[in-house]
Structure 1
Amino acid sequence: MTRPRVLYTDPPWLIEDGRLDSGLATVEREVLGRDVELRFGPHEDGRYQITSPQMLERADGCDVLVVYRTQVTEELLDAAGDGLRMVVRQGVGVDNLNAGLLARYGLPAYNVPDYCVDEVSTHTAALALALERQLIPQHQTLVGGTFDIYAGGAPHRTNRRTLGIVGFGRIGRAVARRLGAFYGQVLVHDPYVGRDLAEGYGARAVDTLEELLAQSDMVTLHCPLTPDTDQMMDESALSAMKPGSYLVNAARGRLVEPEGLHKALREGWIAGAGLDVFSPENPHQDPRWHPVLAHPSVVVTSHRAFLSVEAEASSRRRVAELVRAALDGRTHGLVGKVDAPDPVR
């Protein structure tokens, strides 16, 4: 009898010192057992070859695909063949799952929608407060040899300022509880939740994005990537932000249009930005991001808002448990099922 085959396309936790070490898959082997053949995507020169012919070869005959940053395509699904039972996203976002394509193939898909709420909300707060208190220019000035309390400018009292939250799912609500404690008022815009929900978190819902942008001193983004939100923060939206305000994005890189953001910073429409996500993921691969990265009023991190020792351990175990359940035929009622192109919030 052929052993079930599972391909993890690009698991970052297998990489140590720039090399793939399959011996690090301890959690996966513990949960899945010896009866499962574990495969891992091709890795070369410090990177997974996510679009290579070798990836398609390794998908051949697989029962389950576990993707991280790899895009689900017809080629990948066809390479796996008719025995493919399920696709799992090792993370929260589902835009690379290509849910519409999976629906046409009749394949169920799952993500892990809530494993890093603590981490992302904390990271969002860290970026926001670093901007409010001008921590980066203060640090750079002092370590550069100058003691100057006004480096970066004089900050404002946050309890007289307004926090605006775009997207009020799990993470947006956690941000309202945590970061909202520093602000005098919290506004929320999310067309998919009822207005009363915001009240339960000490916030006030507004009907339009434009209304939120015009009134908020700090805007944080927590919405999924959909056709409606793709590059929602373009030049027009950024020019509508309150003068002197900040923008923080720890959700999806394509929510913010880089050229528009650069213009907003250059023209002084906004005071600064905190970014954890970009499109492409590594902003050094797209010259449009270069002037944004170089701007003194920008704080950036390398898509790590989700990261903690505990979150990574939880994600790995929960994904492995999803895979084990699929192989055992126990998928009814599992948390994280993605049923349609509309992403899980």
Structure 2
Amino acid sequence: MVQLAPDVPKDTGDDHDTAPVVWVVDAPGGGYVESPDIEGRVVGPHGTVRLVIVPDDERDRLPRAACDYMILWHRVPLDASFFARNTRCRAVICASTGYDHVAVEAARAAGTSVFHIPHYGTEEVADHTLALFLAQVRRLPDLRAHVRDGGWDWRSITDAPRVRGMTWGIVGLGRIGLAVAQRARAFGIRVCFYDPHNHPGVEKSLGIERRHSLDALLTDADVVSVHVPLDSTTHHLLGAAELDRMKPGSLLINTARGAVVDVSALRQALAVGRPGRVALDVVEGEPELPHWLRDHPRVLLTPHAAFYSVESLAELRTRAAEAVRELIVAAPVTSAVRVA
């Protein structure tokens, strides 16, 4: 059942003179918030903060007209029916960089503002991307397995390439893509990028190279990392045809959104070595994963953890709560970015 604090008004639909009700909405089992202590401290006397835990099969039972503001974690989607029956909700703050789990057009039609927080955790995701890169290129999973099985032979590293001089292709040169580019260049890696939305000439200021098509980037890069939001234009951006254009033996890294990479096409692509290795922090359909993917010897998986550090999680929760407070007191919203 939906776990809802008993003193949150439910199903009344009546206006009230008490402080605005703020929900922190999360999923059970591996959720992000155990207690809304940070949110309560930041919102302070301006609102009444409650944690609401919503199981997968209870999403359509969120009480009608029960909150004024919502801080929403990405494992709980809000579809059009939610906004049709919750017209009191003034704003949804997505505690994430992405907002593909919210029916944005339906929210706009219902008069509900939607915000996200793209400017947190940039360092962590970029660092994690580099960690996945080094782990795969230096064959750390293979070496660890070799030592764990009783071996101690450096030759088990087999075909590890030299990092300096490799070509790294970045798909999406936003905040995280830029941070990855800076880190990759420090290793002596040649960096190119594909991003049709970025300003012409940005490559000159960064000392990197632009590719004017995704195909050109895929055929040139030894390493491809993905840093794009998920929407209708990026869903399965890397499908069977695109994967087939990657260099033999190349490395694909995804720390963005799982559905950017067609996981069903990935199996055949790995079978022919295009790419040769994969490192994924996000997977289409997560947390349910195909058995072949979990067990594949050339796939390195981490459980959607790239965003995390002690500091980044606290920063994300604080920014989301600050955005709510700013909305309540009618101050300019500087802690989040409006999308609808």
TM-score, normalised with respect to structure 1: 0.87
Go from structure 1 to structure 2 and tell me whether the alpha carbon gap of 1:15 and 1:248 turns closer, same or farther (over 3 Å shift): closer
Q: What residue identity is the alignment partner of 1:38?
A: V
Give the alignment of 1:62-141 within 5 angstroms.
62-69=67-74, 70-81=76-87, 83-141=88-146
Count of residues in Structure 1 that have an aligned counterpart in Structure 2: 323
Q: Distance in 2 between matches of 1:12 and 1:34?
A: 28
Deviation per CA, 1:265-297, whole angstroms, max 9, x where unpaired?
12222210000001222133xxxx321221111
Deviation per CA, 1:123-154, whole angstroms, max 9, x where unpaired?
00000111111110110111111223232522
| 2:267 corresponds to which of 253, 258, 262 | 262
Matched, 1:9 2:20: no
Give the alignment of 1:233-252 within 5 angstroms.
233-252=238-257
Go from structure 1 to structure 2 and tell me whether the alpha carbon gap of 1:310 and 1:55 turns closer, same or farther (over 3 Å shift): farther
Matched, 1:278 2:280: no
| Preserved contact between residue 56 and residue 79 of structure 1 (Cα < 8 Å) | no
Counterpart position of 1:165: 170
Counterpart position of 2:215: 210
| Preserved contact between residue 228 and residue 234 of structure 2 (Cα < 8 Å) | yes
* Cα deviation, residue 310, structure 1: 0.4
| Preserved contact between residue 163 and residue 180 of structure 1 (Cα < 8 Å) | no
Query: Which stretch has the larger CA shift, 195-204 or 242-251?
Result: 195-204
Gaps of 5+ in 1: 43-47, 341-345
* Cα deviation, residue 105, structure 1: 1.9
| Preserved contact between residue 9 and residue 55 of structure 1 (Cα < 8 Å) | no
TM-score, normalised with respect to structure 2: 0.89
Q: Which has the higher helix share?
A: 1
| Preserved contact between residue 131 and residue 272 of structure 1 (Cα < 8 Å) | yes
Counterpart position of 1:33: 44
Matched, 1:339 2:336: no
Q: Distance in 1 between matches of 2:333 and 2:187?
A: 39
Matched, 1:309 2:299: no
Q: Distance in 2 between matches of 1:229 and 1:8?
A: 29
Deviation per CA, 1:143-198, whole angstroms, max 9, x where unpaired?
11122323252211122210000000000000000123224311100000124112
Counterpart position of 1:45: none
| Preserved contact between residue 14 and residue 25 of structure 1 (Cα < 8 Å) | no
* Cα deviation, residue 15, structure 1: 5.9
Q: Distance in 1 between matches of 2:30 and 2:233?
A: 35
| Preserved contact between residue 63 and residue 80 of structure 1 (Cα < 8 Å) | no
Q: Distance in 2 between matches of 1:104 and 1:264?
A: 42
Q: Distance in 1 between matches of 2:109 and 2:60?
A: 25
Gaps of 5+ in 2: 1-16
Cα RMSD, aligned residues only: 2.1
> Alignment partner of 2:267: what SS?
helix
| Preserved contact between residue 167 and residue 190 of structure 1 (Cα < 8 Å) | yes
> Alignment partner of 1:282: what SS?
coil
Give the alignment of 1:36-47 within 5 angstroms.
36-42=47-53
> Share of identical aligned residues, percent?
31
Give the alignment of 1:146-185 within 5 angstroms.
146-185=151-190
